[in-house]
Structure 1
């Protein structure tokens, strides 16, 4: 399977974001580590990591607690 991120708005609804796919979870998380601030600046409020269509974890807020 391929890993990818689902991007969510403040109400938890899906929104458009970068259409990136990764071979493994570590690559996906590494990309996210570098990009989360830019995602937040573009209006993404939370993300969910997917392995194919299966949720690995999330939603995970991009805002400080």
Structure 2
């Protein structure tokens, strides 16, 4: 017999910890001043990752 989690409880399996975006290789930039540059996009993705990680940590304080 298994115990059920309370309604609304997020398990780590159902709510995995966010993973940081992969940093682009330095050689992936063409150097033509693209807007947005792949590094700008990575910075935005890192900002989103940090927000997602803070929210995940708030939902899973026992796993910090």
Q: Which structure dedicates a bigger proportion of its chain to helix?
A: 2
TM-score normalised by structure 2 residue count? 0.28
Q: Which structure dedicates a bigger proportion of its chain to strand?
A: 1
